[in-house]
């Protein structure tokens, strides 16, 4: 009964417009990036980072994402290429989401350092937008039939179409498989809601992006067991990367519980809650270094009364 109730539809791998051939997958990635950036801008402004400072960094992030996504995929599938020139044929498909995140963060991070912008403040502002970008981008994956996994008898599995219908991932006609892009969309939507809820209260700089790394890494470890992909020591390349994310980000959240020492390129040692400090006085934690010691207020020596003989 589960197999009979499986999801079934014909993917749309390409949209032909005259001489142009457009992939819904690429459209989903582009729209996800733009919508995620739009969600990030107000949060960055709340942390004292103007839009004019962010726009050049978004350009760097876009370039880094393309390079990182392709490079990570090629490294994990190097045996699939007959010629070194095939590596540059991005239009034929083959990108890594985690590699894209890494490339975007590295290149934009260099821009933050050059401009004196706090890495952790801006990445916290970006974390919900990154989750939203994944959700929107996965819609494109579903349209083209990408990231189809192992066979399953679950009722929400995807039934592969006939031979006359193209899919972005290999799929044997009539077989019901895990639709891992759908799982990633749903789990990341939950992560997005969690991040939006967490940012309502003041947190130390870096808390939200570390949470994103730990949670998204954990879900990718789970999801990739259902994928049909190249494996080394029983793990996909994304799983190996995700394990590192979970260990580093999760370990910092559990044991360090403070802003990392590097990346504070704005010269500030304090965190700023959403909306900035309330009017009329400091907010809890303002003026307090990350180590937790209050900054002593400046004092003036009180003059001694005149001595009477």
Question: Which pLDDT tens digit goes with each residue over 263-308?
Answer: 999 887 554 454 444 444 443 333 344 444 444 455 444 454 544 4
DSSP-derived letter for residue 80 is G
Whole-model pTM over 0.85: no
Rounded to 10°, the helix 237-245/97-115 angle is: 40
pLDDT score of 256 more than 90: yes
| Percent of the chain whose predicted confidence (pLDDT) is above 90 | 61
For residue 7, the SS3 value is: strand
Neighbours of 173 (CB within 10 A): 11
Q: Among the listed ranges 168-172, 213-217, 256-260, which one has the minimum average pLDDT value?
A: 168-172
What value does the mean pLDDT take over residues 133-154? 93
Nearest Cα neighbor of 151 from 133, 178, 129 is 178
pLDDT score of 83 more than 80: no
What value does the mean pLDDT take over residues 239-261? 95
Task: Judge whether 144 and 23 are in contact, CB under 8 Å.
Answer: yes
> What is the token pair recorded at 279?
């009017």
DSSP bridge partners of 20: 17
Whole-number pLDDT of residue 22: 85
Residue ranges per structural domain of the chain: 15-82+89-203
Whole-number pLDDT of residue 257: 93
For residue 227, the SS3 value is: coil
H or E stretch including 68? helix 51-76
Task: Judge whether 175 and 145 are in contact, CB under 8 Å.
Answer: no
- Phi first, then psi: give them for residue 109, nearest 5 degrees: -60, -40
Whole-number pLDDT of residue 89: 65
DSSP bridge partners of 235: 232
pLDDT score of 114 more than 60: yes
Nearest Cα neighbor of 91 from 122, 111, 66 is 66
pLDDT score of 4 more than 80: no
């Amino acid at each position: 009964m589960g197999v009979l109730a499986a999801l079934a539809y014909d993917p749309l791998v390409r949209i032909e417009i005259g001489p142009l051939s457009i992939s819904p997958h690429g459209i989903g990635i582009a729209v996800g990036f733009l919508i995620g950036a739009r969600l990030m801008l107000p949060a960055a402004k709340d942390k004292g980072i103007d839009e004019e400072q962010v726009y050049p960094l978004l350009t760097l992030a876009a370039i880094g994402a393309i390079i990182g996504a392709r490079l990570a995929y090629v490294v994990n599938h190097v045996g699939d290429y007959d010629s070194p020139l095939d590596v540059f044929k991005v239009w034929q498909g083959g990108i890594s989401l985690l590699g894209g995140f890494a490339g975007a963060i590295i290149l934009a991070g260099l821009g933050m350092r050059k401009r004196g912008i706090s890495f952790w403040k801006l990445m916290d502002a970006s974390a919900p937008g990154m989750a939203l970008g994944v959700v929107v981008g996965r819609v494109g994956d579903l349209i083209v039939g990408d990231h189809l996994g192992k066979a399953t008898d679950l009722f929400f599995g995807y039934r592969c179409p006939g031979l006359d219908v193209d899919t972005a991932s290999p799929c044997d006609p009539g077989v019901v498989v895990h639709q891992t892009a759908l799982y990633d969309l749903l789990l990341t939507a939950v992560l997005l809601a969690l991040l939006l809820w967490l940012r309502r209260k003041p947190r130390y700089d870096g808390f939200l992006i570390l949470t994103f790394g730990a949670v998204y890494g954990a879900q990718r470890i789970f999801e990739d067991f259902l994928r049909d992909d190249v494996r080394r020591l029983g793990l996909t390349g994304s799983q190996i990367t995700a394990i590192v994310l979970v260990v580093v980000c999760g370990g910092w959240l559990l044991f360090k519980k403070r802003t990392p020492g590097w990346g504070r390129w704005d010269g500030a040692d304090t965190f700023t809650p959403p909306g900035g400090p309330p009017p009329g006085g400091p907010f809890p934690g303002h003026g307090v270094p990350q180590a937790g010691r209050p900054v002593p207020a400046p004092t003036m020596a009180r003059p001694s009364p005149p001595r009477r003989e």
